[in-house]
Amino acid sequence: MPELDELLAVLDLRPSGDTTWLGASLDFGAGAVVFGGQLLAQTIVAAATADPGKSVKSVHTVFARGASTDTPLEFAVDVMQKGRSFASATVSVTQGERLCTRSLVLLHAPDPDLIRHQDAAPDVGSAADATPSSHGAGFWEIRTVGGVDIADPDAVGPAQLDVWTRFPDAPDDPTLNQALLAFATDGFLIGTAMRPHAGVGQSLAHRSISTSVITHTLAFHGAVDAAAWLLLDQESPVARAGRSYGRADVFTEDGDLVASFAQENMIRAFAADQAPPAGGRSAH
């Protein structure tokens, strides 16, 4: 598992032009494909340059193609509009001629409350009550409510998953805290969708099952402290036709609803020409 300084290094994008930036990638040793959460995190960092006086409000990303960890990523920021309260931009991520993702990003300058309400946090106990997960290590701590192991194909349950997550040494920077939360939101909704189905688990992804994130939408409702425990309260209401849909709310330990996200995924059998050899791992 990489260390936090390695993740922060890939979030430190290097200018390559007036509106373009270059970035590197983490390699988790599980293949040559860039983790989608990294692309989301870098997209937020790039989008923040569109109007430094505002913060990212929401981002909607389409994952068109996979990206390789051994080739630099280029981030092109195209400002659509800048006003007093809002700004908007597209962020396109490419490797050479290969377009990997494109995102629509809304930025804003928050206004005083005229009205205010939120859903209550689920009654799942505190992070101290949850079970440490092997999916996180070092700089990224993960705990699952009820000890759920989404990697286990025989662990059948409802299409719901509550996960506590934090980055204990996250720097005190609002944009990086948003980016770190974005990084964390990408990892669990495929496994959530698999939970009701015996013999299907996240450990089989890229080995005997072809999975991929297709779209990811993340909205921020308030300030994010990625160093503190945040609860990802996740569910997948539908899976069919080789696709799944999942959604989640993000709560602090005090019950403040600070973000929400939704994801569309591909979960299907391998095409005959894409299946990896026995014991191997595919990029598909």
The predicted pLDDT at position 235 comes to 98
Q: Which CATH class is domain 129-284?
A: alpha beta
Classify residue 104 by burial, with Cβ atoms within 10 Å: 0-12, 13-18, 19+: middle
- Please give the structure tokens belonging to residue 163: 């996960």
| Longest Cα separation, the chain | 59
The pTM score is 0.93
Please report the beta strands in 129-189, taking only residues with DSSP state E, as ranges in sequence order: 131-132, 141-144, 160-166
Non-local (6+) Cβ contacts of 42 within 8 A are: 10, 11, 13, 23, 73, 75, 93, 179
Q: To the nearest whole percent, how much of the chain has pLDDT over 70?
A: 89
Residue 218: name the closest of 7, 44, 35 by CA: 44
Average pLDDT over residues 240-264: 97
Report how far residue 143's alpha carbon sits from residue 261's, in angstroms, rounded to the nearest whole number: 19
Burial group, residue 156, by CB count within 10 angstroms (0-12, 13-18, 19+): middle
- Per-residue model confidence as pLDDT tens digits over 30-68: 557 899 999 999 999 999 999 999 999 999 999 999 999
What is the rounded distance in angstroms from the CA atom of residue 67 to the CA atom of residue 100?
Answer: 6
**pLDDT score, position 173:** 97
Is the four-CA dihedral 71, 72, 78, 84 of positive or negative sign? positive
pLDDT top residue among 203 and 181: 181
CATH class of 1-110: alpha beta
Angle between helices 36-48 and 4-11 (to 10 degrees): 50
What are 219's two structure tokens?
A: 């909205």
Q: Is the pLDDT of residue 131 over 80?
A: yes
Helices marked H in 57-195: 174-185, 189-194
Token pair of 195, please?
Answer: 């939970």
Q: Which residues contact 115 (CB under 8 A, 6 or more apart)?
A: none
Q: Per the structure block, which two tokens stand in for 199?
A: 């013999």
**Can you tell me the mean pLDDT for 271-282?**
58
- For the chain, give every residue range classified as CATH 3.10.129.10: 1-110, 129-284
Condensed to tens digits (0 to 9), the pLDDT of residues 156-169 reads: 899 999 999 999 99
CB 11 within 8 A of CB 45: yes
Length of the chain: 284
User: Which pLDDT belongs to residue 284?
Assistant: 47
With 60 as the cut, is the pLDDT of residue 17 above it? yes
Name the one residue in this structure whose structure tokens are 């300058």. Answer: 109
Say what the pLDDT of residue 202 is.
Answer: 63
Q: How confident is the model at residue 178 (pLDDT cuts 50, 70, 90)?
A: very high
Residue 2 has pLDDT above 60, yes or no: yes
CB 75 within 8 A of CB 93: yes
SS3 276: coil
pLDDT (0 to 100) of residue 279: 53
Q: Average per-residue pLDDT in the chain?
A: 91
